[in-house]
Structure 1
């Protein structure tokens, strides 16, 4: 039952798709190509960012602790 239905659906859809097929394929290639380049660049940025984070780790922890304490203080004031 299911296979008959899907093949009918396919025979309806396929002629409609066929006209756009190459257009779809070409645009997919363009999108994938752009994405691959972007992903490569993004990976490079991520590695650099990770190195920066390692350098700033101590500073970040200190800053975050201060920020959290400050936020907690603000919340206490709001409750009063």
Structure 2
């Protein structure tokens, strides 16, 4: 068994869950997380009011809201 963990954009959670269900993986855990990658949190990526603690800093946001999903699959999958 393997655990697969992915961090995705919040607006992609439904499409991701649907795609996984079609592929035969209906069981998924999801939680809200914050972080940023090497793009340093592009403000244009988010379409909602930004918390003061997530404010823009030197060309990017400190943290960007994301969704972390995880699922357990058989080794061959």
TM-score, scaled to structure 2: 0.22
- Normalized per residue, the structure richer in strand is 2
TM-score, scaled to structure 1: 0.21
Could you say which structure has the greater relative contact order, defined with CA pairs below 8 angstroms and 6 or more residues apart? 2
